Amino acid sequence: MDQAAGAATTVVNKDQFQGNWKQFKGEVKKQWGELTDDDLMQIEGDMDKFEGKVQERYGDRKEEVKRWTDEWFEKRKQSGTQSR
């Protein structure tokens, strides 16, 4: 993964996303307040659904969503609190 190329580098994969969904969900509600509880139930740990729902509510902000998600997971990894 060459970060120098300027392309977005994915930090989190789908398994990590699903495994940390319960913790992540609370932060999602703070960051993306237009997502409803029903939206979160539909997403239920599915990264593609999450990205789609945020896009549906906020418009074309896919890169911003990926960057925010990666940063959240990176912080958890650095603090050693990421579960498996």
- Checking if the pLDDT of 40 tops 80, the result is yes
Chain-centroid distance, C-alpha 72: 7
- Checking if the pLDDT of 6 tops 70, the result is no
Pick from 56, 66, 61: which is nearest to 34 by CA?
56
Q: What is the DSSP letter of 3?
A: G
- Checking if the pLDDT of 30 tops 80, the result is yes
* pLDDT given for residue 65 in this prediction: 87
The CA–CA distances, whole Å, from 44 to 24, 34, 53, 79 equal 11, 16, 12, 24
The number of beta carbons lying within 10 Å of the beta carbon of residue 76 is: 18
Q: What is the DSSP letter of 8?
A: P
Looking at residues 46-68, what average pLDDT do you find?
88
